Amino acid sequence: MKANLLFILSLIALTSICDTVNQTFLKSTINSLNFTFSWNLIKLFKFIFKIILTPLVWVGAFFSLASLCIWLFVLSRADLSFAFSADSMHYIFIALSSQLILKEKVGLQRWLGILLIIGGIVFVSLG
């Protein structure tokens, strides 16, 4: 039972990491385009077109698809109430990649929130 729980938790971590890779690639692509939002439809279409034409975005989409497949496997084995709560660990990976790869500042309050999420996941897993 314990080994099974660890296996499912690591699969959930894997989906969260795949999602994080997708989000990070998308965000770094958008950052590099230096786009400021406007309702100008031509500009908007150009922006979306540029995103779609970026290979990194396609790699991200592949990770997103992988995440869905792993997630479906997790759901075939685990309670939804458990899996959905534990999936909140993507906040941790997003914070890490935001700081390390995207060079964003992650403040104290955010790390405190992440600590609360980790504590919550531990309780959810034990429950």
Partner 1 sequence: MLKKRVTLKILFLLVASDILETAIHFFFKKSAATQADFSVVDLPSVFFFLKAVFSSPFLWMGLALVLIVFIVWSTILSKIDLSVAVPIASFSYILVPLASIFFLHEKVTFLRWLGIFFILLGVVFVSLSTHERQA
**List of residues contacting partner 1 (CB under 8 A):** 69, 71-77, 79-82, 84-85, 88, 91, 95, 104-105, 107, 109-110, 112-127
* Between 17 and 70, CB nearer to partner 1: 70
- Taking the least distance from each CB to partner 1, the nearer of 21 and 114 is 114
Nearest to 88 by CA among 125, 37, 53: 125
Minimum CB separation from partner 1 for residue 108, in Å? Answer: 8
CB of 57 to partner 1, least distance (A): 15
Tell me which residue of 65, 58, 57, 56 sits closest to 18, measured CA to CA: 65
Q: Which is nearer to partner 1, 63 or 82 (CB)?
A: 82
DSSP state at residue 107: -
Closest separation between CB of residue 18 and partner 1, Å? Answer: 15
Q: What is the spatial distance between Cα 16 and Cα 84, in angstroms, rounded to a whole number?
A: 11
Give 71's contacts (C-beta < 8 A, 6+ positions apart): 15, 83, 87
* Cα–Cα dist 27/95, whole Å: 13
* 19, 64 Cβ separation under 8 angstroms: yes
Least Cβ distance, residue 63 to partner 1 (angstroms): 16
